[in-house]
A and B are shown apart, each in its own frame.
Chain A
Amino acid sequence: LAKTTQPISMDSYEGQEVNITCSHNNIATNDYITWYQQFPSQGPRFIIQGYKTKVTNEVASLFIPADRKSSTLSLPRFSLSDTAVYYCLVGGGLSGGYNKLIFGAGTRLAVHP
């Protein structure tokens, strides 16, 4: 499965938009890009998933360029309660045969008042 590279940590201020970029140069044709959020002492929680272009839901937007070698998670109007670790994952394509999630170290996002 493709390996991902994302910032180890980021700082932001409450009310600002936060963008986290993830690199996945070896993404396969059938791979999807998925982002999870994890709060301390909790399991990861699905945020958004996409294959190409732009996907938006009530929580975030995901921007994927045409070459799909990177993606950017955009979180609007970040709040203190959004302080968490954010994971970028690629995979889930048919070649895998089963749904295995490969997590990296994630991005620790700290929000300041």
Chain B
Amino acid sequence: ETGVTQSPTHLIKTRGQQVTLRCSSQSGHNTVSWYQQALGQGPQFIFQYYREEENGRGNFPPRFSGLQFPNYSSELNVNALELDDSALYLCASSLSGYKDEQYFGPGTRLTVT
């Protein structure tokens, strides 16, 4: 059974640029959630996708967008990058149940300069 994988591991971007982060779900999982974790803080929920549809969103602006593909892999896109977007971005996959355990990937460390 393959776990959740994310790419790239690290990324450096300039303010105003756009970035795409990728996530491959654990086999058999149809739900993907994205979280942003600033240094020293807990992860903050960005949004969740279930069967290719956005299924819920946290308090993040529209420049944070996502996609989920038929194979349940996912992308997180961030436009017009700001310095405060520097963080660890975590992807988590799960089954669709409301209390099901979420399996996290190792994250992508994004630095915006």
Contact = CB atoms under 8 A, between A and B. Distances in A.
A32 to B, nearest CB: 5
A106 B92 CA distance: 18
Contacts of A101: 33, 35, 43, 45, 92, 102
Given A43-B104, A43-B107, A46-B103, A99 B98 contact: yes
Given A46-B103, A100-B45, A106-B42, 14 more contacts: A43-B107, A44-B92, A45-B104, A49-B101, A92-B98, A96-B56, A98-B48, A98-B50, A99-B98, A100-B56, A101-B33, A101-B35, A103-B42, A105-B40
Contact of B106 (A34, A42, A49, A87): A42
Interface in A56-113: 85, 87, 92-94, 96-106
Interface magnitude class on chain A: 20 to 34
Interface in B60-113: 90-92, 94, 96-107
B58 interface: yes
Interface of A: 32, 34, 41-46, 49, 85, 87, 92-94, 96-106
Contacts of B103: 46
Contact of B102 (A46, A85, A104): A46
Interface magnitude class on chain B: 20 to 34
Interface of B: 4, 31, 33, 35, 40-45, 48, 50, 55-56, 58, 90-92, 94, 96-107
Nearest to B6: A43
Contacts of B90: 43-44
B48 A99 contact: yes
Contacts of B42: 85, 87, 103-106
A98 B55 CA distance: 7
Contacts of A98: 48, 50, 55-56, 98
Contacts of A34: 99, 101
A104 to B, nearest CB: 5
